[in-house]
Amino acid sequence: MAETEDLNLAAMQKGSATLLVLALIEERARHGYEISTLIAERSGGRLQLQPASLYPLLYRLEAQELVAGRWVEKPGERRRRFYRLTPRGRRALEAHRRSWRELFLALDQVAQIGHA
């Protein structure tokens, strides 16, 4: 992975972190570690959301009532904080998806990303 590429991805990723987090907890509630691992896994390691960015982001989303965190205790396990999408978060996710879709379309029309 070339260094320039990495920098670009990191910069681009910053704006998309909210989308990623919201999208990952859309199907079911997940805890922080699971979210960051899933981002890395599903993007084939190209996208990384380190705890230093993930947790502040989660707290911000929670304050905005887009996600709701709940401590879940399972017998014999350390308790973990699971985040799920609120109805408000669901609407926000839709809005984010729409914006990104429009952005991709626009980029594609201009720069033919789809054929790149």
Partner 1 sequence: MPDSKPDWTRIVRQHLPPLDLPGRREAEIVEELTSELDEAWRAAIAEGSEPDEAERVALARIGDWHALARGIRDAERPVREGLARLGLPTHLPETGPMSNPFLTGIVQDLKIAARALRREMSFSLSAALVIALGVAAAALTFSVASAVLLRPLPFHEPDRLLAIRLSSAQDPKPGPLCEADYLALRELDRSFSEIAASYSRRDFQLAGGAQPLRAGGALVTAGFFRALGVGAQRGRTFLPQEEKPGAAPVVVISHRLWQGYLGGRPGAVGAPLSIDGKPYTVVGVLPPGFRFASAETADVWVLFHPERAELRAPFYLGVFARLKPGVGIAAARAEISRIESEIKQRYPDPGDWKLGVADLKETIVGASRAPLALLAAAVALLLGLASVSVANLLLARGLAVEREIAVRAALGAGRGRLLRQRLIETALLVAAGGALGLGLAAAVSPGLARLSRGALPEVHDLRVDWRVALFALALIALVALAVGIAPALRAARTDATIALGDGGRTAGGRGHRRRHGLFVVCEVALATMLLVGAGLLMHSLVRLGRVDSGVSGERLLAMAVALPDGAYPEGPTRDAFWRRLLTRVRAVPGVEAASCGMSLPPDLLIVTNPFTIEGQAAPPGQSPPLAEELMVCPGFFETLGVPLLAGRTLTPGDDGNATSVVVVNRTMAEKFLRAPRPIGRRLQLGAPAPDGPWVTIVGVVGDVKYAGLDAAPAPTVYVPYAQEGWWSELFLTVRASPGLDPATLAPALARIVAEVDPTLAPAPAKTLAELRSDAVAGPRFRTLLLQAFALGALAVAMAGLYGLVAQEVLRRAREIGVRRSVGASGRDVLVAVLRPGALATLAGVLIGLPASLLLARLAKSLLFGIAPLDPLTYATVPVALALAVAAASIGPALRALRVDPARVLRSE
- Nearest CB to partner 1, comparing residues 50 and 112: 50
Residue 30 in contact with partner 1, rule: CB under 8 A? no
Task: Spell out the alpha helix ranges (H) of the chain.
Answer: 3-27, 32-42, 51-63, 87-111
Chosen residue from 64, 99, 103, 106 binding partner 1 by CB under 8 A: 64
Chosen residue from 32, 39, 85, 93 binding partner 1 by CB under 8 A: 32
Residue 63 in contact with partner 1, rule: CB under 8 A? yes
Q: Under rule CB under 8 A, how many of the chain's residues touch partner 1?
A: 23
Q: Which residue has the tokens 């991805």?
A: 9
Going by C-alpha positions, the residue among 17, 12, 96 that lies closest to residue 56 is 17
C-beta of residue 85 within 8 angstroms of C-beta of residue 70: no
Sketch the per residue contact string, 71 through 110, with partner 1: x for CB under 8 A, - otherwise: -------xxxx-----------------------------
Q: What is the largest CA-CA distance in the chain?
A: 55
Q: How far is the CB of 99 from partner 1 (least distance, A)?
A: 13
Sign, CA dihedral 24-69-33-48, equals positive
Chain residues in the site for partner 1 (CB under 8 A): 31-34, 36-37, 50-53, 55-57, 59-60, 62-65, 78-81
